[in-house]
Every structure is written in structure tokens, then in C-alpha cells.
Structure 1
Amino acid sequence: MGRCGRSKAAILLPFLLLIWAESAMGRFLVEKNSLKVLSPESIKGNYDSAIGNFGIPQYGGSMAGTVVYPKDNRKGCQKFEDSGISFKSKPGALPTFVLVDRGDCFFALKVWNAQNAGAAAVLVADHREEPLITMDSPEEDRAAAEYIANITVPSALVDKAFGEQLKKALGNGDMVNVNLDWRESVPHPDERVEYELWTNSNDECGVKCDMLMEFLKDFKGAALMLEQGGYTQFTPHYITWYCPEAFTVSKQCKSQCLNHGRYCAPDPEQDFSSGYDGKDVVLENLRQLCVFRVANETRKPWIWWDYVTDFHIRCPMKEKKYGKECAEEVIKSLGLDRSKIEKCMGDPDADADNPVLKEEQEAQIGKGSRGDVTILPTLVVNNRQYRGKLEKGAVLKAICAGFEETTEPSVCLNGDVETNECLHNNGGCWEDKAANVTACKDTFRGRVCECPVVNGVQFRGDGYRSCSASKTTHIRSACAASGPGRCRINNGGCWGEKRDGVTFSACVDSDDGKCKCPPGFKGDGVKHCEGTSASEVKYGWGAVWLVLIVLGLAGGGGYLVYKQRLRSYMDSEIRAIMAQYMPLDSQNEVPNHVDIDRA
């Protein structure tokens, strides 16, 4: 029996909730791009294709290529390299678009195998007559996690009839040239893009949760720049379900739902006997919605990005920190009004509708060109659901495709994003104002809280509440350092004292971060060092100075004697030389011995 004997009801309820989601909100729209066949003439024209929900579609652009249908492994479920097949294009040739058949394995595996063999894009031909569907990645498949995260080529599903036309043309020996066009996949009516992200605070849902959290951290910097510049209007959303009336009094519904079964989320660990409950997730989802609303009232809606990324780092389920207490620490560090957030959240135990969560459930139902939201996570850009991997570059490209031409912000043109989040409230990070040291770092991805390196000194800690050298370090600011030069900052967290004008320190300027009492002292080096008295120290230093003075005087006297003798010697030598050429006052005249030629 799976999952250590979970009850049938425990297994049944999430399934019922998903059944309700599809039946009550069953208008799932498939996002399409245009596929144009350029040759041969027999099938030339425009066709629809459904964008895959993984890989990186070229939103706002297009891609031309030549279609290839392999002779072997036509479903793409095995590695093409094992059969000696390569799709790498030769220099100067068009990229290769590989056509594979649907069936026998995951869509994502087909694309991964083709990508590894050199394909620039992948087309999957449906094997039944039906409307186009969105190819999605497998749920909760750890074995597939590695390759799904690394798929970079775009992919699309084509219907059975068009797939047969492609195969027939290729079978006749025709060169099939096509153009995949994503330029109209996102409407671009004006100078501002509206986008929304349907997400979840649960961090124990497997591969998709991990990918979502990485995306939030990576995309934060670009999101802040776009919001602060007024280029975009961002709105976060959260999916909830209601418990079927027949189950509202069951143990499962009570553990998964708020407001008497009105707003529910599946159990994070899918085990009702341990860990967190679904209602814990709904409550945190509600808190994050209210964080956005309160931040929006202050005209700083981008603070939501700081909250969700900080909450994920500081309050993970795996460390049993997920919940109200940790959340309030994050709220405080960001300078948000906790009372307003609590008022927005309301009473989760009330037998009545919660205005915020009710609005979210209504928003799940598609309107206009947007279908119902049933997949987590889902990104919607200008009311069109984004398809593809949630990766910073790909999402930014999709958002930039939503601007009217020539109105794109600079981030869409050169990727240069500048923010200055550390100026406000120190970004919610740790700081030592006295030492002018902060853990706030402003980066392309937005501000991050990391203990800094100052003058070659590495501080250590969580970056939010403290940065310290070690558990034994005790200094006034709860922040010390280790590494070369550490003694220049707060004395390295070591003992230090000034006695009769002489400063003593137990800090050793080295990498090991240890505190050692100076010579003549004993102690732990951190809180105290005892030993040599101040008078003895002064006497010792006095003796040293006396010796130095005596040596200095002796050296000076010796130099003077040496200088006098050298001068006397030089004088006698000069006098002897000069005496050969001219008589001195004290000598008789000397005959000239030099011969002079005469004419």
C-alpha cells in the first residue's frame, strides 16, 4: 500500500478537488503560434500549432528551419545517438526541426532526446483526430526533473492531419521548409504590459515548486525595474478549491480548508498524519496576497517579490519554520504594517466568505482571450497564458513582446537593469550603523541579504538578523568578522583594553579567526585577558626605550669619530698632491721636471 498506509479518503480528496476544478472551470485555452510552410507548394500555407509548456519559446520572434522525420525511433522515446542519428545543421544550412510522433513516452522526453541530437526545434504530430492540446511536463516525476529543467529548444504539437501532410511531403523527397512565428502570441497594444503569476507558497510540491522558487529569485530584479519604471502592472494570484459539501465535516477537509471548507489546498506532503496541512498553505497564500495589497497601498507593490523570496529562504517547510511566527519576522524586516495585513486576512475560522480568497477563486475563471487557470505555476501576459519554461530570459522575452513596438524599456533592449533597493530600510537586511557595514547587496536580481566582505574581511551569518564570526564571538553589535584584516573592524570580536595609554588586543590578524591573549596575559581572549600590570608594562617599555637611546648615542658618537678621521686623512692626501705642482707657503720651491719641446 503506497505512502505508508494512507486512508482511501486521504487519497480521494485531492482527486475530488481536481475533478471539481476541471468540471467547474473547464475552459482551458491552448496558446498557439503560427507555423508557416514555405515549401513545397503542395502544402504551402499557415497552420496552427500548440506551444509546449516547457523549453523556451521565442516570444516576439520567429525561427526558420528544415523539417526532418527520422527513419528510426520515430516517437523519440530513445536516445537518437544510440542509433547514430544526428540533427546538427552544417555550417550555412538552416536549423533542423525534428518531427516525431506522439505516444509511448512523455512529451518532454521526446523533446529532450531530439535536443541532445542537435535539433533546433521539435514538432510532435498527434496520433488522433482531436483539438490541439498543450504539451505539459510530467507531474511529480523525479526521474524527469533533470532533463525538464535543461530543455531549451522550443516545441509545438501539430494536429494529425497536418502531421500526415508533412510526412507525405518528406516521403516524396521534398524539402520541407517552415517558419515558426511567435510574434503574435502575445498582444502588444500599448506602452504598458499587464502580467500576473499564479503561484503557491507550498515549497514541498516537488520539481515544479523548486523551479518556481528559483524563477522568483532570478526574475525579481527585472520585475522590480519594470514595476518601478511604470512599464508593467504585476498582480500575484493563488489557486484554491472548495471542499465538496458532502465532505466539509470530514477530517480531511478540516485539515485542508479554511472558512469551513470554502478555500482548500492539497496536503503538502500528501500525508495527513504528519507535517503541514493544506490549510497552512491556504493561510500563507492569503498572507502573501495581503502583503501585496498593503504594499500596493503604499505604491510599492514590488515589495511582494522581496517578501515571497525572503519567506522561502527563511521559512522553509523542511526546517519546520513555515508559518505565522517566521512570516511576521519577514514582514517586520521589510517595514510593512503588520496590523493592516492581519486586518486584510480576516478570520480564517469564520463560517463566511473571505473577500480576498473569494475574489481569487472568481479570477481563476477565464475571461476574454484567457482560459481558466488550472496549472501551477501559470504566467499570464496581456491576458494570454504564457507557455514554456519559467526561466528569467524566456519570461522577460515574453513580457517584452507585449509592448507596442519601439516602446520597449531598456531592459528589453540590452538587459541592463539598475536598482537601488538598499537605500530604503536597508532592504530589510542586517546592518551595523556604527561601523557603517551592511548585508544588503544590490544586484541585477534585486537586493539580496548576504553578510559582506569589508576590506578583505568576510562576515558570516544569515544576512537578515545577524552577521558574526563564530558562536563564541561576543561583541556589542552581534557582528564580527574573520579573515585577513579582521582586527581593524570591531577588534575582530576579541578582548581589548587600554592601560595607562598603552592599547592591548587579543585579536590576531589571520584567517583562523582565533582570539589569543598577548604575551604576558592569560585568558580566553574573547571576554578577558589578565596578567601583566600596567606599571610593569610601562617599566618594560621604558627599558626598551633606554636601550634604544643608548644604542643610538653610541652609534652617533662612533659616526662622528669616523667622520673626523676620514676628513683628516683626505686633507693630508690633497696637500701631498697639490705640493707636486705648486709650492706651499711652508715649503721651498721645487724644480720643474717637465720637458717642454722648443721650436
Structure 2
Amino acid sequence: MRAALLIFGGLRLIIYCFPEKLSVARKDSCLKVSSPDSIKGNHDTAIGNFGIPQYGGSMAGTVAYPKENRKGCRRFDEFGVSFKAKPGTLPTFVLVDRGDCFFALKVWNAQNAGASAVLVADDIDEPLITMDTPEEDAASAKYIENITIPSALISKSFGEKLKKAISDGEMVNVNLDWRESVPHPDDRVEYELWTNSNDECGVKCDMLMDFVKNFKGAAQILEKGGYTLFTPHYITWYCPQAFTISKQCKSQCINHGRYCAPDPEQDFSKGYEGKDVVIENLRQLCVFKVANETKRPWVWWDYVTDFQIRCPMKDKKYNKDCAEGVISSLGLDLRKIEKCMGDPNADSDNILLKEEQDAQIGKGSRGDVTILPTLVVNNRQYRGKLEKGAVLKAICAGFEETTEPAACLSDDVETNECLANSHGGCWHDEIANVTACKDTFRGRVCECPLVDGVQFKGDGYTSCEASGPGRCKINNGGCWHETRDGHYFSACSDSGNGKCACPPGFKGDGVKSCADIDECKEKKACQCPECSCKNTWGSYDCTCSSDLLYMRDHDTCISKRVAEARSAWTAIWIIILGLSIAAAGAYIVYKYRIRTYMDSEIRAIMAQYMPLDNQNEVPNHVSEDRA
């Protein structure tokens, strides 16, 4: 379980007897013993790089040291042991010895037995190290992902003191304190993520990719509000001058051996090479640089997550063309990014990558960065599982008291990225006002939408096509359509089972094109002896010779006299019908006028014998002195 630094083929390799990384750790949490008096006081610990530490808080408990399975490499229930605390008692901190199996497995077994935290006692006197997860072990990935309790490594001498106190029958009460694990000097938190674009490096890469995708929404909210200052970083190595012309250096390095990354498949004869990873790491650095210059540094999160989805190594899309497609969809200036990247074949330093190598060296309270991924909050390395809730706690612990943003006081960390980022780089149709951008709690996703009962289908990034009934209402269902000389044709049909099919008179795929069919040649229309055919766009015209007329329904010619006779009789019947309608109208008008005249005569005669209600009273002309 010790590490050896070797030079092989001109490249530095760290070899481990057990495939789990160890690095000298800063004493990043404090364990306070409240009893017994013999070991009372504060003791340094190093937080494990898995599980969920309670950043900003503390946890009290009682230490238990098992009589069997003391290294914790087997399930405790095999020995009938349970560490689950009884109601009213303090949680149990299980003390186990280092050795024989992975740190993470020890913690997993203790968690399953009911432990609330795990203390691992070192087996040699040395500076505290960081307990990390196995580098390549798919079998352990399942339990590593589900570890939720915190763990810490303690020194050998302190471990011996705890064991002696427990064997003497003393109750050992402790308090594991993370309140000062992250400095909190002001109202803004500065944090950085040391990451990698390689998506084929096993369990570690999978965990990193999941974290970036899940944490993106919260990260962008904090950045847009001015609460945090985020910076991504990428680790590179260099090839010694004497080996720059070797096959290994040429395949894994750029700029003549100055910046290198391991071969993704660990096979120099196939797949992608280490230099492909270095170039994409450099591109992601430049994406952040250019986005930061435009006051939108949070776009880095969009690029990285979209690149993971659209350009994975397993699909052979991990390349420049795919990356540039993602960059263009996010509205970034491609020329500026290319200029920032420089020439990877130049025999000179790359400014950005040189700065990255310098930044790997520890500064102040932050040690050297040797583990990928590594999160640094306010210049302190974060320890624990890379999980949204756990990391958010660590970031929130970095704010000065009472200055925490609402995200630290509530679980509601959400924004409509589709409105803020112009469809978030997803497919959209400006004409139909339809977008594949969908805002979620974790950030936006590119998912073809359902609009007015019409379902769109596609990858959500570059294309979405309407399907199902009603699809022709929205941008013609993505089918071919064209207007020419006042005539409109479309390949979309609601009864077409969701497929684009050229209309009668056309041929083609129905999506990108439909070409006019020459019915005179291909369909042999207008084939009667007297017929003459002329092709038109989407149809055809047929004429007959001499005094003949063409009948399209029967594809034949008939005499004009017959046609004229038919036309004459048609005209006569139209005239007769018109006269009948006119006569009926005149009779109705006549009856109406007669009735109106009679009504007025009757009213006049009756008015002579009796006053009508609607007549005005006759004025009284008799003078008052005659009354």
C-alpha cells in the first residue's frame, strides 16, 4: 500500500501495491476527545476522500473497537456484530486498523453494521495521508457510490491510545469537528476543480462526469449571483528532455514533450492517445478563458457536460469536429478559442498549460494536487464524495456567517437556463418558436419537445423533427415544401404515419428534396393518338389536335361540336334557372308592396272614426273666456 515513483519510458509513473491513491494530507478536521481524561484534548485527522463529511458542522459519538474483524475487511454481521446506536445513546464511531483491504471497503462494512463514522488507525508512524478510493475497480464502484458516513485517518500513536482506553473499560466520547475545515473570510467563496476530459479512465472518470452534470445547475446559480468565483484546472505531466523523441512521449505529449497525459486505454497501438486528452483539456481551458472574457464563465459547465454527452470516446466522437460543434451551439467565438490553444506542435511553452503545471504545486494551506479529481474550496482541499449536496455544504461552509446565499439555506437551487442562455445551446426553430431546451433542477437538458400534441424526435442538440398527427401544422413536420408560381406543395401529410412522402407529381426522399416528375415521359400521360403532352411543375398539360378537346378524366379527346352542344344546353338551363329565380323574386316583392299599401289605406279610414294610440292629440282651440 506504499507508493513508488519510477521513471519508465521517459514518463513519471506512480505505482501502488494496492490500486488506491494515497497523498500526504493537510490535517483537515479535528477530533476532540471529551473523555477519558487520559487522552482528553484535540487530535488531528485526515478526512477520507469518500463518504459525506458534515462540512460546517460537527458530530459527537462513542468510539467502539471490535474484538473481531478489526481491520474491517469482512462484513461485521458475519460475526454477529452491530454498531447501531440504541435510542437515547450517542452514535457509534467504529475504530478499525489499516491494512489488508481498501479503505472504502472498511467504511462500507462498518456503515452496513450501523456505524455513524469510521476512524482508521494508521499502522506506521508517518504524516497523515488522504484515504482515497480504488483507482480501477468496477466491482467496488457500487458500494463506493453508496457510502454516506464520514471517515478519517488518525495517527498510529493516537490509535494506540484509543485502543488502550477502550480495553481498560473506559467510555471514549469524541466530537468530530468540520466547522473550521474550510476558511470563511468573506461573502464570496473561491473554489476550483481539478478535472480531466478523459471519459474512459474507469470508475473515477464516471464519478467525475456524474458530478459535473449534477452540480452544474447549482454552480451556475452561485456564479451568476456573484457568490462564488470558480476556476477549472487540468493536471499535465512533462516528458524528460532525453526521451522527447520516444514513441511514448510523441503519442502522449504535445509541444515536444512539455505537456503529457496517460494513454486512455493504456495501449499505444489502438484507440485515442494521451496527446488527444491534453489537447481537449487545453480546449476546455480556453473555453473557460473566452467565456470569462465575455462575462459568462458559467458556460464552461455547459460545454463540459455537452461534450461528455455528444463526443464520448466510446462512440469515436472525441475529436475536434465534435468539440467545435458544441462550441458553436453555445455561441462562443471559435476563432478566439483556436488562437488561445496555440500550436500543439510548437517547440515552445504553452502559456495556459505552463500556468496549470505551476498551479499543481501546493500554496499556503493547500497541498500539492496529486489526486484526480480534486476540489479546492477557499484554498483548502475538499475531502469526501463528489456529490452535489456534500460539495454544496463545503462551499456554503466557506461563506462568512450571515452572508450565505439563499442556496445555502434552501434546497431550491433552480434557474431557467433556457431563457438566460438563448435556448442553452439546444436545437430550436425560430420560425415555429419551438426549442428542445428544457429547464430542470439540475440544469437544462436538450430534449425534443411535445408541442400542441405534436411530439418531436431527434438528438435534441442538432435536430428535432415533428412526428405523429398534427405534425404538418408545425414547420411542415420537417418535410420538404415549396411554393413556385403561386402553386404550393408539401411532402407532409397527417395520414402519412409520421413519414415525409413527396406529393403526387413529385419524387424524392420527402425530407430534403422532391423533384418534379415528367408525367409525359415517366407516367406516359396523354397517350391518345390526337393528344399532345407538356410537362409542368407538379403536373402536366395535354392538348388535342384540330377541333378536339382533351378529357383528363378519361385521357381522351372529343369533338368540339359535342362539347359545344353540351355547353349550349348548359347555358340554356342556366338562363332558365336564372329567369325562374328572378320571377320568384319579383312575385315576392309585388306581394310585399300590395300588403303594405292595403295596410296604410285601412289605417287611414279607421283614423277618421276613432283616434289611434299612436296619433297625436288634436289641439284645443277654444279660448278660456268661452269655457
CA contact (8 A) 2:11 2:239 kept: no
CA contact (8 A) 2:491 2:510 kept: no
Per the alignment, in what secondary structure is the counterpart of residue 134 of structure 1?
strand
Per the alignment, in what secondary structure is the counterpart of residue 153 of structure 2?
strand
Change (3 A) 1:100 1:132: same
Q: Which has the larger share of strand?
A: 2
* Partner Cα distance (1:249, 1:289) in 2: 27
Q: Hey, what does 2:439 align to over in structure 1?
A: 442
Q: Does 2:247 correspond to 1:251?
A: yes
Q: Hey, what does 1:458 align to over in structure 2?
A: 455
| Aligned positions of 1:271-350 closer than 5 A | 271-350=267-346
The Cα of 1:169 is off from its aligned counterpart by 1.7
* CA-to-aligned-CA distance 1:494-513 (integer Å, 9 cap, x gap): 79999999x9984249xx74
Q: Hey, what does 2:467 align to over in structure 1?
A: 481
Q: Hey, what does 2:565 align to over in structure 1?
A: none
Identity of aligned residues (%): 75
Moved more, 223-232 or 141-150: 141-150
The Cα of 1:454 is off from its aligned counterpart by 2.3
The Cα of 1:92 is off from its aligned counterpart by 2.6
Q: Hey, what does 2:85 align to over in structure 1?
A: 89
* Partner Cα distance (2:338, 2:509) in 1: 48
| Among 367, 376, 379, the residue aligned to 2:375 | 379
Q: Does 2:135 correspond to 1:139?
A: yes
* Partner Cα distance (2:7, 2:264) in 1: 13
Q: Does 2:201 correspond to 1:205?
A: yes
The amino acid of 1:481's aligned partner reads: S
Change (3 A) 1:500 1:103: closer
The amino acid of 1:441's aligned partner reads: K
Unaligned runs of 5+ in 1: 1-9, 20-25, 468-478, 537-599
Q: Hey, what does 2:265 align to over in structure 1?
A: 269
Q: If you compute each CA radius of gyration, which structure gives the higher value, 1 or 2?
A: 2
| Among 390, 411, 414, the residue aligned to 1:394 | 390
Per the alignment, in what secondary structure is the counterpart of residue 359 of structure 1?
helix
* Partner Cα distance (1:273, 1:351) in 2: 25
CA contact (8 A) 2:492 2:499 kept: no
Change (3 A) 1:120 1:13: farther
Q: Does 2:48 correspond to 1:61?
A: no
* Partner Cα distance (2:27, 2:275) in 1: 32
Q: Hey, what does 1:429 align to over in structure 2?
A: 426
* Partner Cα distance (2:9, 2:263) in 1: 10
Q: Hey, what does 1:104 align to over in structure 2?
A: 100
Higher relative contact order (CA 8 A, sep 6+): 1
| Aligned positions of 1:120-135 closer than 5 A | 120-135=116-131
Change (3 A) 1:524 1:299: closer
* Partner Cα distance (1:281, 1:259) in 2: 14
* Partner Cα distance (1:27, 1:434) in 2: 56
CA contact (8 A) 1:13 1:252 kept: yes
CA contact (8 A) 2:119 2:153 kept: yes
Q: Hey, what does 2:494 align to over in structure 1?
A: 507
The Cα of 1:455 is off from its aligned counterpart by 3.4
CA contact (8 A) 1:481 1:489 kept: no
The amino acid of 2:176's aligned partner reads: L
Per the alignment, in what secondary structure is the counterpart of residue 59 of structure 2?
strand
* CA-to-aligned-CA distance 1:216-256 (integer Å, 9 cap, x gap): 00000011011100001001111111101221110110111
* Partner Cα distance (1:299, 1:144) in 2: 41
Moved more, 394-403 or 169-178: 169-178
Per the alignment, in what secondary structure is the counterpart of residue 393 of structure 1?
helix
CA contact (8 A) 1:49 1:132 kept: yes
Per the alignment, in what secondary structure is the counterpart of residue 134 of structure 2?
coil
The amino acid of 1:507's aligned partner reads: D
Change (3 A) 1:521 1:158: same
CA contact (8 A) 2:10 2:239 kept: no
The Cα of 1:458 is off from its aligned counterpart by 3.0
Q: TM-score, normalised by structure 1?
A: 0.78
* Partner Cα distance (1:202, 1:300) in 2: 25
* CA-to-aligned-CA distance 1:527-576 (integer Å, 9 cap, x gap): 8999xx9x99xxxxxxxxxxxxxxxxxxxxxxxxxxxxxxxxxxxxxxxx
Q: CA RMSD in A?
A: 3.1
* Partner Cα distance (1:312, 1:36) in 2: 43
